[in-house]
Amino acid sequence: MVEALPDWDSEYDVIVVGYGYAGATAAITAHDAGAKVLLLEKAPETDKGGNSRVSANLVFWPNDILMAKAYFRALAGPYTDDISDGMIDVWATEMHANRAWLENLGMTPFDLPYIEFPEMAGSECVRVLMNGPGPMGGERLWRIIEAAVAARDIAVLYQSPAVSLVKDDCQILGVVTEQHGERVAIRAKRAVVLTCGGFENNPAMVRNYVDGLPRIFPNGTPYNTGDGIRMGLEVGAQLWHMNNISGPILSFKAPEIAVAQWLNLPKGTSYLFVARDGSRFTMEGDPCITGDLHGKVKRHGYWGQQVLPIPIYMIFDEDFRKSGHIGRATADWDVSHGNLYNWSDDNLREVEKGWIKKADTMEALAALIDIPAKALVGSVARFDALAVAGEDTDWGRSAGKMAPLAVPPFYAIELTPAFVNTQGGPRRNEHAQVISTNGTPIGRLFSAGELGSIYSFLYQGGANIGECFAFGRIAGRNAAAMAPALSAAKQLAA
Ligand SMILES: Cc1cc2nc3c(=O)[nH]c(=O)nc-3n(C[C@H](O)[C@H](O)[C@H](O)COP(=O)(O)OP(=O)(O)OC[C@H]3O[C@@H](n4cnc5c(N)ncnc54)[C@H](O)[C@@H]3O)c2cc1C
């Protein structure tokens, strides 16, 4: 709902909605340009940080601007037509500027060899940075950005979701937030910056916008529910890149845990995946199933979105059950927020919980998971025969990585597609202004980050966080540079 002009409870120069990397960067930049800044965050402080905090904290840094533009265009493929040259120029320049900006804040860049599409034009420019050597994730970069916010006079309000934007005929004047059940109107004298993430946790938007994956669970923050898309639509924003997601990644979703967990396929080889009809549908180590290439797959010479059957069952035998834990704890939401689930090494705790079903025969297992017994028995027999023959003529799994399911009892665990983030949202231009349906910027409204990301198709790892910093700076700079809007009284007098 767009608000009529309210009585303001407080006022700032710039209000930034959502405190992940994009919001932090916009706030830091606007502050350093002299603005009085408020960061509004929906989550409580204990759950702070959005996808940014729980990410692998990798930053794509192009070491050459011209090559970066070529790589961007190659990845966007047919979608390049919708992205202006000016936008691509600014993206490449600001992505290149990220390294110096981060070093200035205290990052020690450490290069990781991770060129996702080496065959694409310009790919030689790809450097992916972590904050110092060591394992990925672990919040090491997040802590630097958080410290930079804390070191400045930037007001941060947690548990304060923006619920609507206040707009007059031509511009945004402030934000209505909800605090402890009360609606509070906060005036933004210069501008509002939307950095409140994607729609990973909005099932209706997922069904509407994501091709072929009507049920998919997030691996990251549960607080990104598409609020920026709703608020953008309410003030006439145009949407773009709504069908582009980073995923699917085959994961496990426990009913009692908010987000899905990536898998940790152990060394054992006596397992296969089947769909609801009992058929084996893939090579189990397919990189697009395990999350590489961010869910895009090349088939028949054509790149497209990977879709997966829902649900997927992993079927295995006693040998595999003993070979190591199937679930994993990684740089995800649960680890960062102290809710780490400690998956048992032999998977028996999960059998007891009922997450893994167990039966003495394949027929009985099929009955437990409600799939056709004949089809499951047939798929397993075929898999066993291929494993014995040493050649997977059906799906091309390496001979050394498959063994017959020979040792009962047998087990099944239901797996689900999951994703790390969405890319779609209100379209923005090279000044980080949000664009309306008629193609003009909406006055005093900016955005950055995965909300309305520039990425439309193939995706280079590290590019989302890079974009948060690049467009966060542009948004913060331009928001702070706006001349103050006239107060309501002055507007009436004018
Ligand atoms: C497990 C995982 C690993 C990843 N690894 C990488 C990686 O290594 N490199 C990379 O480039 N990308 C990675 N990504 C993607 C990347 O982390 C995100 O796209 C990026 O961090 C998004 O930053 P953001 O600031 O736009 O949004 P977020 O960091 O998600 O922040 C948005 C914030 O807005 C808040 N919010 C939502 N609604 C409202 C509202 N109404 N009012 C106020 N606040 C609101 C949310 O609570 C949240 O704190 C990963 C994602 C995940 C989940």
pLDDT in tens, 86-136: 999 999 999 999 999 999 999 999 998 899 999 999 999 999 999 998 888
Q: Where is average pLDDT lowest: 2-6, 26-30, 319-323, 461-465? A: 2-6
Asked if residues 386 and 392 have their Cβ atoms less than 8 Å apart, the reply is: yes
Contact between residue 344 and residue 352 where contact means Cβ atoms under 8 Å apart = no
Domain boundaries, the chain: 10-245+421-493, 248-419
Give the pLDDT score at 266: 76
40 lines ligand 1 (CB under 6 A): yes
Task: Kindly give the number of the ligand 1 atom that is closest to the alpha carbon of 462.
Answer: 11
So what's the pLDDT on residue 239? 98
Amino acid in position 368: L
Q: Give me ligand 1 centre to Cα 223, in Å.
A: 9
Cβ of 196 less than 6 Å from ligand 1 = yes
Residue 41 Cβ inside 6 Å of ligand 1? The answer reads yes
20 C-beta closer than 6 A to ligand 1:
yes
Note the pLDDT tens digit of each residue in 182-241: 999 999 999 999 999 999 999 999 999 998 899 899 989 999 999 999 999 999 999 999
Residue 4 has a pLDDT of: 63
**pLDDT value at residue 333:** 65
- Residue nearest (by alpha carbon) to ligand 1 atom 26: 449
Task: Tell how far the Cα of 289 is from the centroid of ligand 1, in angstroms.
Answer: 22
For residue 440, the CA-to-ligand 1 centroid distance in Å is 27
Residue 1 pLDDT exceeds 90 = no
Which string of DSSP letters, residue by residue, matches 31-49?
HHTT--EEEE-SS-GGGTT
The token duo for 372 is 């056709």
Instruction: Reply yes or no on domain 10-245+421-493 having CATH 3.50.50.60.
Output: yes
Pocket test for ligand 1, best of 29, 55, 57 (most atoms within 8 A of CB): 55
Cα of 20 from ligand 1 centre, angstroms? 6
Give the integer Cα–Cα distance in Å for 347 and 191: 52
**440 within 8 A of 171, measured Cβ to Cβ:** no
Q: What number does the ligand 1 atom closest to the CA of 246 have?
A: 15
- Write down the pLDDT at residue 334: 63
Rounded Cα distance, 89 and 87, in Å: 5
What residues contact residue 227 under an 8 Å CB cut-off, 6+ apart?
A: 42, 161, 162, 163, 196
Q: Is the CB of 195 under 6 A from ligand 1?
A: yes
Judge whether residue 337 has pLDDT over 80.
no
- Among 464, 373, 351, smallest CA distance to 95 is for 464
Query: In ligand 1, which atom is closest to the CA atom of 220?
Result: 53
Which of 1, 35, 27, 12 is CA-nearest to residue 187? 12
Phi, psi of 173, deg, nearest 5 = -115, -15
Ligand 1 in reach of 55 Cβ (< 6 A):
yes
- Write b or e for each residue in 328-359: b if 16 or more Cβ atoms lie within 10 A of its Cβ, otherwise e: bbbbbbbbbbeeeeebeeebeebbeeebbbbb
pLDDT for residue 254:
87
* 238 CB within 6 A, ligand 1: no
> If you take atom 11 of ligand 1, which residue's CA is the nearest one?
462
Pocket-testing residue among 219, 464, 469, ligand 1, by greatest number of atoms within 8 A of Cβ: 464
Determine if ligand 1 sits within 6 Å of the CB of residue 425. Answer: no
CATH number of 248-419: 3.90.700.10
Pairwise pLDDT comparison (336 vs 116), residue with the higher score: 116
Which is the closest atom of ligand 1 to the Cα of 219?
Answer: 53
Q: 154: Cβ below 6 Å to ligand 1?
A: no
Region 138-156 average pLDDT: 96
234-255 pLDDT tens trace? 999 999 999 999 999 888 988 8
Tell me the pLDDT band of 336, cut-offs 50, 70 and 90.
Answer: low
Structure tokens at 72: 């961007």
State if residue 219 touches ligand 1 by the CB under 6 angstroms criterion. yes
| % of residues, the chain, pLDDT over 90 | 78
Residue located nearest, by CA, to atom 50 of ligand 1: 55
Q: What is the pLDDT of residues 428-450, one digit of tens each?
A: 999 999 999 999 999 999 999 99
Q: What is the pLDDT of residues 344-357, one digit of tens each?
A: 899 999 999 999 99
Q: Is the pLDDT of residue 2 over 70?
A: no
Query: Would you say the CB of residue 201 lies under 6 angstroms from ligand 1?
Result: no
Determine the atom of ligand 1 nearest the C-alpha atom of 40: 43
Residue 114 Cα to ligand 1 middle (Å): 21
**pLDDT for 490:** 58
Inform me whether the pLDDT recorded for 3 exceeds 50: yes
- What's the pLDDT tens digit per position in 369-395? 999 999 999 999 999 999 999 999 999
Burial class (CB in 10 A: 0-12, 13-18, 19+), 112: middle
Q: Encode pLDDT of 391-421 as tens digits.
A: 999 999 988 899 999 999 999 999 999 999 9
Q: Ligand 1 centre and the CA of 365: distance in Å?
A: 39
Cα 234 to ligand 1 centre (Å): 22
Average pLDDT, the chain: 93
Hey, is 192 helix, strand or coil?
strand
Evaluate whether 13 touches 189 at the Cβ level (below 8 Å): yes
Q: Is 42's pLDDT higher than 70?
A: yes
**Does residue 493 have a pLDDT over 60?**
no
Beta strands 410-419 and 217-218, pairing class:
parallel
How far is ligand 1, taken at its centre, from the CA of residue 449, in Å? 8
Q: How far does residue 23's CA lie from ligand 1's centre (Å)?
A: 10
Give 287's pLDDT tier (boundaries 50, 70, 90): low
Confirm or reject: Cβ of 260 under 6 Å from ligand 1: no
Looking from the CA of residue 472, the nearest atom of ligand 1 is 25
Whether residue 332 has pLDDT greater than 60: no
